[in-house]
Structures are given as C-alpha cells and as structure tokens.
C-alpha cells in the first residue's frame, strides 16, 4: 500500500434478534445462545499508510462520538495491535456507541478483514461480538461468542429507536449476575417464541429511563419493542410504513428525542 492507496472496508452493525444467557464460565465470562443479523447501518474504515485514527462523526440521530473510546481502549487500535500492523485509519462513525448494535466490534472485525485475518479465535480476543461481525450475515452465536453457526439469510426489515443515552454492557452483565444470585426471573415477554432477551430486565435496572423510551416506541407503533443486545437501542420488526413511522425521524419525550432508524438485513456476502 502506497501513500496514494486507500483501502475502504465496510463495518455493518449487528442486531441481536434473540439473546439468551445460558450460564457463566469459571473465569466469569457469560455463555450465550443468540441469533444475530447484519444490518445496513454501517461504519466505514479507510486505511492508508501511516498511523493514527481520525474519527468522523456521522452518527445516526446526532448522538455524536463522545462515547467512542480513544487510545488503546479503542477497538480499532486493539485490532491493529493484535495484527502487529499500523495504518492511518479514517473511521466514519454512523453506528451509535453503547447502543447494543456492536459498533466497536464491527470496526474491529473490519480491521481483521483488512489485515486478511478472518480468524474467529483471534476475533474472540477482542470481544464477544467480534467473531460474528467478522463474517456477518445471519448466525446462531454460542459460547462466549466464538462459536458462530451460519444460518440461511432472511430478508427482514426492522425499525430502530436510538435514545440519547449510553448503556454499559459490563454494568448490565454485572446486574444480570446480581439478579441471578437473588433468583430473579429474566425471561422476557417474548420468551415463549424463543425471541426474548435475557438482558432486558437487567438493562432496565441499570438504566431505568430505557423503559420510558420503550413505552414511547410501543405507543407509536402498537408493537412491543425488543432491546438490542444490552441496550440502549430498541427495535421492532417491519418497515416504517407498516409500523406507522414512515413520516417520523424522531420520537420525543419532553425536550429529548430519539432517532427512528429503518434498517434491513444484509447477507454475509455484503460484509466480506
């Protein structure tokens, strides 16, 4: 790669359609059984000769990049370090941080693809969502994220609601542990259909304001929203037209607003 050459890699967000926590390993890592799909909300990474990361703020809903870690905590930096590579990276952020949409994991996976290292074991060292984001499409994800079983692609539409708040994944899992110790029931309303999210109750305890946005979204669509991963985004299945949101870019609660983002699934071929 010369100074004039720039390699562009797409980093699509992931949507966790269902998420079940099946146990905790002896080292404290949580065991999962989840269905994940890639969606067309995506960051873009441009690689050139040199070093350093430039972040361009195009985050949906105007939520900004303040939650994007810098330095060695940034997953792009960590992925480059794992590869033993350097590059000048221009990261165009569109996926909100701390929303449960795997933005950082998608970026790390894009670095591994750029470096020619489509290695699930290597990806798992960067985070539980990175192995799925490496291949994308639709898959059943188990273990601590390292077991990725590809599933047939399904063309599906969803509408996201992205509130103006960040939810810590680590805090949600800690609260899940606490709830488990006291015998709380984490089965969601959709559990009978196998599409629940075991982290939802814990997330609502960590960030109670999530419930206000869930209820607002429910009222607007008539459909019970589901939490994306550990939050903060909510989603319903269907197009904006079928959910009554075709003319709405935001929902409001008082002076705050949350972005309404129609998305659709994309196949693994679009990720690679």
- Report d(CA 62, CA 193) in Å as an integer: 35
Q: Classify residue 265 by burial, with Cβ atoms within 10 Å: 0-12, 13-18, 19+.
A: buried
Instruction: Report the phi/psi class of residue 222: left, alpha or beta, with left for phi > 0 and alpha for psi in -120 to 50.
Output: left
pLDDT of residue 208: 98
The tokens of 252 are what?
A: 């409001």
Evaluate whether 171 touches 180 at the Cβ level (below 8 Å). Answer: no
pLDDT band at 186 (very low <50, low <70, confident <90, very high): low
Active-site residue, from 14, 43, 93, 198: 14
Counts for the chain of helices (H) and strands (E), in that order: 8, 11
Q: What is the pLDDT of residues 138-174, one digit of tens each?
A: 999 999 999 999 999 999 999 999 999 999 999 999 9
pTM score, whole prediction: 0.93
What CATH class does 7-152 carry?
A: alpha beta
Over residues 210-228, the mean pLDDT reads 98
Active-site residue, from 43, 93, 107, 129: 129
Q: How far apart are the first and last CA of the chain?
A: 20
242 vs 194 pLDDT, higher one: 242
Instruction: Report the phi/psi class of residue 189: left, alpha or beta, with left for phi > 0 and alpha for psi in -120 to 50.
Output: alpha
pLDDT of residue 192 exceeding 70: no
Residue 107 annotated to the active site: no
pLDDT of residue 80: 97
Q: How far is CA 15 from CA 59, 99, 177, 214, 232, in A?
A: 17, 10, 23, 17, 12
157-268 matches 7-152 in CATH topology:
no
Evaluate whether 197 touches 16 at the Cβ level (below 8 Å). Answer: yes
Helices (H), 55-160: 75-83, 103-114, 120-124, 130-135
Task: For the chain, give every domain's residue range.
Answer: 7-152, 157-268
Evaluate whether 33 touches 140 at the Cβ level (below 8 Å). Answer: yes
Residue partners of 4: CB distance under 8 A and separation at least 6 = none
pLDDT of residue 230: 97
- Report d(CA 177, CA 188) in Å as an integer: 16
Q: How far is CA 139 from CA 47, 86, 148, 225, in A?
A: 28, 31, 6, 22
Q: What is the pLDDT of residues 23-71, one digit of tens each?
A: 999 999 999 999 999 999 999 999 999 999 999 999 999 989 888 877 7
Q: What is the pLDDT of residues 69-97, one digit of tens each?
A: 777 779 999 999 999 999 999 999 999 99
Residue 142 annotated to the active site: no
- Candidates 3.30.70.890, 3.40.50.800, 3.20.20.100, 1.10.287.70; CATH matching 157-268: 3.30.70.890
pLDDT band at 249 (very low <50, low <70, confident <90, very high): very high
Evaluate whether 95 touches 101 at the Cβ level (below 8 Å). Answer: yes
Give percent helix, percent strand, percent coil of the chain, each to the nearest 5.
Answer: 30, 30, 40
pLDDT of residue 184: 79
């Amino acid at each position: 790669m010369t100074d004039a050459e720039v390699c562009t890699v797409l980093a699509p967000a992931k949507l966790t359609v269902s998420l079940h926590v099946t146990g905790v390993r002896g080292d404290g890592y949580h065991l999962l059984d989840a269905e994940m799909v890639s969606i067309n909300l995506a960051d873009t990474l441009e690689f050139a000769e040199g070093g350093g990361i430039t972040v361009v703020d195009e985050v949906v809903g105007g939520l900004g990049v303040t939650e994007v870690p810098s330095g060695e905590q940034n997953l792009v930096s960590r992925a480059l370090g794992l590869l033993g590579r350097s590059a000048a990276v221009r990261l165009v952020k569109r996926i909100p941080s701390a929303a449960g949409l795997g933005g950082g994991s998608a970026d790390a996976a894009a670095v591994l693809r750029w470096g020619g290292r489509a290695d699930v074991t290597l990806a798992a060292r960067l985070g539980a969502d990175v192995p799925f984001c490496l291949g994308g499409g639709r898959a059943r994800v188990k273990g601590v994220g390292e077991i990725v079983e590809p599933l047939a692609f399904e063309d599906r539409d969803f509408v996201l609601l992205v509130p103006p708040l960040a939810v810590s994944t680590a805090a949600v899992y800690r609260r899940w542990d606490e709830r488990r110790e006291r015998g709380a029931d984490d089965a969601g309303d959709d559990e009978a259909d196998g599409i629940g999210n075991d982290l939802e109750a814990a997330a609502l305890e960590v960030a109670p304001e999530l419930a206000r946005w869930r209820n607002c979204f429910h009222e607007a669509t008539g459909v019970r929203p589901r939490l994306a991963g550990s939050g903060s985004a909510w989603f319903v299945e269907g197009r904006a037209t079928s959910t009554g949101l075709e003319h709405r870019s935001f929902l409001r609660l008082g002076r705050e607003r949350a972005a309404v983002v129609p998305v659709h699934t994309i196949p693994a071929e679009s990720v690679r």
